[in-house]
Each structure stands twice: as structure tokens, then as C-alpha cells.
Amino acid sequence: MEKSYWRVIGALAALLFVMSPALAQSAAEQPLEEFFKTYRVGSLSFSPDETRFAFVSDKYGLSQPYTMSVRGGEWTPLFETADAIYSVFWCPTDAGKIFYSMDSGGDENFRLYLLDMSTRKSSALTPAGTRTEVLGWSHTGYYLYYSCNDRNPQYMDAYRLDVRTMEATKVFENNSTLFVAGISPDDGTLVLSQFINVRSSNLYLYDVMLKSMTVITSQEECEANYEFADFAPEGDRLYILTDKDSEFQRLMSYYPATDEWEVEVEADWDVVGATFSFKNTYLVTRINEGGISHVTIENVETGEELELPPLPAGEIVPVSFSRSERYLRIYVNADNIPGEQYLYDLETFELIKLTNLFDNSQLRSEMLVKSELITYSSFDGMEIPAWLYRPAKPKWGKKSPVVIEVHGGPMAQAKPGYSPWIQFLVSRGFVVAVPNVRGSMGYGKSYYLADDQKWGEDPLLDVVYLKYAIADEVPEADTSKTVIWGGSYGGYMTLAALTFVPEEFAMGLDWVGPSNLFTLLESVPPYWRPFQKYLHDEIGDPSIPEDSARMWRQSPVNFADRIVRPLLIVQGRNDPRVKVAESDQIVEAARKNGKQVEYMVFEDEGHGLRKRENKLKAYNAMFDFMTAHLGMKNTD
């Protein structure tokens, strides 16, 4: 086999596995539970007077809502629920109202709720059995916009909730693939985005009072995607992200009065975000450079870039300004930093560290590893990027077993960031690789289109060739003991690997992966049904004989008799995207053929696991399964 091209890129090539002098133990001596005692803090929302935050965190096992001072310090629980809460919205004009969304058991039918801060009582604002998505606040702060499929399960209508009267008014009735992408400062105009397929989308202006729509973009000249970014401060143009006439997404300005376009920002990567601060003092733009965000904050009047204070090494993402523009929230993320939150005071130039996400755990940042960004040649010469994690030393003899993790999506992108599972595996002597196979986002539209209707084929070979590349270029790796694992689309890839190339991998770990492309398309949630064209472009149209024949060949359930390696499957009973039947049917087919499959179903989970106790149960089972079936013996 021709030797794979291998490239180590930039500063991310550094490997950090240093013992903290203040600690008596290394990561290798910590149990799995310690890796999951790190936690997340998110959805920080300023109080009207900007003295406190409302936020959510899974510090105690399940994501729940709290408040704290903008200077950091003690957390005050708002209330406790049996289900996870991932978003809170403090009303910018009424400190007595905090809104939040919550589903039931992972079913993703999110409802909008109001918490009355004076009574600490919650009330549901949208009906049970429907799905609500919060769109954002009006410029005045008197209206909260949201979409809900209460009229028709397939379509998300847009509503405007007046927080003074608590009356909701429907402002747009949707009967297609349209959704609200922007709201004008005067509340008179909605920017509507129409998803056509993965290659194309359009934008429209909708006059709320006249109920009339004006076309901004079309697909007449060429297929292109258009994503609304923000309204210009002067009100004469819109900022739009688009890949029209470009391999990568650019930031452009559009003048409705003259129908003219101008390029604002372009790069050899995707420009993925552009937004103005509340008073339009700053423009924040973000470029995705191979999985790392590069952010610039420019003073609109002077053109000068805002200089940030020194921060830890990692991906630094300025998240948002407060309405007064005194404060800037900053998020720092890295393989060894699980998303620390900071606040920068632009009046005093003070940097306030809001979180210490290791305070529940014996782990410290210095004990963890950083990934290397590598590229390798796949079967057809296409260059595939991947993140590689290497242990300090083997623990299973002379060489290290390998785990290849495949991300979900497939239109997603694996990025550096703290993963308790990956860090645990590396501390136990595993080499871990996380590829961005063809079909991943972030590398141009030709790359993310390269997997269309090729599920289980070319992208799977990308994973196989990663194993070959590791064998060639990582001398400490024992690729005869390579585990493939992933969730959702990554779970499908695991099933595809064990059925289509059954002897390439030593074993497979599948979380919520579809096994049958026909039943997957038949059972999608109702609010996905308007997007069937995308699903047909991505996977195939069962009504077309050629597509149907290919989809049958690409469905792992039809080849369960080929499984020769151990397989463990994890599934949530309430999964609305990949129904439990997807796992049930391949488990049944495999066991019918005498194959070895272990199956874990969590009754109170959906598309993945949210509760820490369930995560620990699953990951402990996975590790025990791996060590037992790979025939590994610890040499420490």
C-alpha cells in the first residue's frame, strides 16, 4: 500500500501530559467518574441591570438553571426538574421574568416556560406534544419571538410574545421549509430563510403588517446557500453569508434598494458568523479555520480591532456583548479546557473568570492531552483531516490499541474540545483518532457534498484508510486492535463498518445509529418532513428504483449475518430522530444469526445520553466490553 501522506500542523501538534505538582496523582490513576465530574456552563443571560446571569449547568449531573453575579461567585439554584434544561432567557425589560425551554425524557418536543421570580412558580406557554424553538428578543426587549408547530406538526409558525401582557401573536404562518432567520430592529420585517437542499437556500423579506414577501435571493444563476447574519446599523443593507461563486462561505452586504452585492470578508475558509453589538459599536466576525474559530471584533466607527486581555491557550470565542456594551462574554475551549466562561469589563478592563469547571474533579488541565491536527490520503487521493490523541506511554504491552471516533451529522465537524471519554481512553493508553471524513462541514462545499448518497461507501473507506495511515505513521499504535465508534451518523458508520468491511476493525460501539435507511426516512419527526428533499439528496429517494436498490445495499441491517466482531449498541427509548426500532432490528437480525451483540436501552433518554448517571453506566460498560474483547492486559 502506498504510504499515506501525513502532516502535523501548527501549534496544535504540541502534546501536553504533565503532572501537576500540586497533585499526587496523574490522569492515568483517576477513575472514569472523575473525567465526568467536569461540567458545562452555558446559555448565560444577563439580568436587565446587568448585575447577574441566569444560566444552565450540569455540575450536579443534569443540566439545570441557576443565577450568579456577573463577577462570579456563588450559584443560586432557580428550581430543580427531572428533565434537562439547556437554555434560559432573562427578560431584558423585566427582572421578574425568566423564560426557559424543556422537553420530556429526551423527546425533543421542547415547550416554552415562564418562571415568575416573585413566586418561583413556572407555567407552560406552549402546548404539550409540540416543539418550540426560541428565536430571540426584539430590539426593545418587550417581545420574545419563538416558533412552534402547534397548528401543524410539520410546520413551525412564528410568534411574538409581548412580555408586558403575556399575549402571543402569530406573525408568520409557515407552510413550507421557511423559518425566521432575523428580526428587524423596528419589528416590522422578518428575514425568512428557505432551505432547499444542502447546496441551496434562499432569503426573503417579510412585511409583518402587510403580510407580503420580497425575494432577496434565487437559484436562477447558480445553486448557492445564503444565510442571514445581521442588519447593518445604517439600515440600508443586510449582511449575508453565502457561498455563491465561491468554494467557501463569504460575508457579503446586500442593498435591497439597488439589488447590489458587495464582498465584506472572504478567506480560504468559511466565514461562519457576523453580528453587531446591541448599540452597533462593534462588528464581530468569525471564520472557521479548519475547526478552530478565528474571531475579530472591529470598532465600526474607527475600524480598529478590539484587543482582548491575555487568556489561556485554546479556542477563544467572544460570545456576546451585554446590551450596555460594557461587558463581553468570552468562552475558552480546548482539549484540556472544558469550556471556561469569562467576562471582560470594557470600562475597567478587568477579566473575570466566571467558572472553574474542574472544581468537582481531581483532574486538572495540566494532566490532559492536546490533539494533533493531521491529514492523510484516502483511497482516491482525497486529503482527509483528523484529530489525533496520543498517550504518554503504552499500558497494554509494547503498543497501544486504537479507537477511531466518527462524528454525527454527517454535516458536522469534529473540533478540538474537552471530551471526558477521549481523555479517559488516552489516559488508559489508547491512541484516539477523530476524522472529518468527506461530507463534513468546514472544508468547502465540494468536500461536504462528496458523501451525498454514498453512505457506507466512500466515507467509510476514509475511516479504513485512517487506520492504515495510523499503522504507517504512529509506531506505538497496534491497529490490529482498532475500535470504531460513534453516535447517530457515527453510529451508522460503526454498523456499516462491521457489516460492509467486517474484518477491518476489532470491534464496534454504536450509539443511536440508524441501521435501515428506509425505516430511518419513514420515521423522522414530523417537523423534518418538509425537508424530505434534503434527505433524498443526502441518502436517496426510495421511490426511485436505482436509489432504492442502493439504499438496500447501504443498510447494515440487511447484512447482519456478516458481523464477525463484537458489537455494543446504546440507544435512548425516546429518541425522536433515530427511533429505538433502528437499534432493535439490527440487534434482532444479528442475534438471529448467532452474532455477539450487547444492547443497552435507556428508558429516560433520547438521541444520546444527557444524565451523568446514565453516561457513566454506558461508558463503563463500553470500556469493560473493549478490554474484555480486545484481549488486553494492563502492563502497569
For the chain, which domains are there?
7-32+363-627 (3.40.50.1820), 277-356 (no CATH)
d(CA 467, CA 491): 18
CA angle at 242 for the pair 533 and 133, rounded to the nearest 5°: 60
Q: Among 55, 123, 58, which Cα is nearest to 90's? A: 55
Q: What mean pLDDT do residues 84-101 have?
A: 97
pLDDT band at 6 (very low <50, low <70, confident <90, very high): very low
Tens of pLDDT, residues 111-169:
999 999 999 999 999 999 999 999 999 999 999 999 999 999 999 999 999 999 999 99
pLDDT of residue 10: 34
**CB crowding 440-477: b at 16 or more within 10 Å, else e:** bbbbbbebbebbbbbbbebbbbbbbbbbbbbbbbbeeb
pLDDT of residue 579: 93
Q: Give how far the C-alpha of residue 577 lies from the chain's centroid of Cα atoms, to the nearest Å.
A: 15
* 143, three cell numbers: 417581545
pLDDT > 70? residue 8: no
216 neighbors 237 (Cβ within 8 angstroms) = no
d(CA 143, CA 132): 16
Q: What mean pLDDT do residues 491-518 have?
A: 97
pLDDT > 80? residue 1: no
189 neighbors 207 (Cβ within 8 angstroms) = yes
What is the phi/psi pair of residue 626, to 5°?
-65, -50
AA identity, residue 95 = A
286 neighbors 297 (Cβ within 8 angstroms) = no
Through-space distance between the first and last CA atoms of the chain, rounded to whole angstroms: 35
pLDDT of residue 316: 87
pLDDT of residue 2: 37
pLDDT band at 529 (very low <50, low <70, confident <90, very high): confident
- Summary mean pLDDT of the chain: 92
pLDDT of residue 632: 66
pLDDT band at 222 (very low <50, low <70, confident <90, very high): confident
**CB crowding 482-515: b at 16 or more within 10 Å, else e:** bbbbbbbbbbbbbbbbbbbbeebbbbbbbbbbbb
pLDDT > 50? residue 19: no
pLDDT of residue 7: 36
pLDDT of residue 20: 35
Q: Give how far the C-alpha of residue 112 lies from the chain's centroid of Cα atoms, to the nearest Å.
A: 22
SS3 string, 182-210, reads EECCCCCEEEEEEEEECCEEEEEEEECCC
d(CA 458, CA 243): 25
pLDDT of residue 522: 93
pLDDT of residue 198: 82
pLDDT of residue 219: 86
pLDDT of residue 397: 67
CA angle at 54 for the pair 48 and 56, rounded to the nearest 5°: 160
pLDDT of residue 607: 93
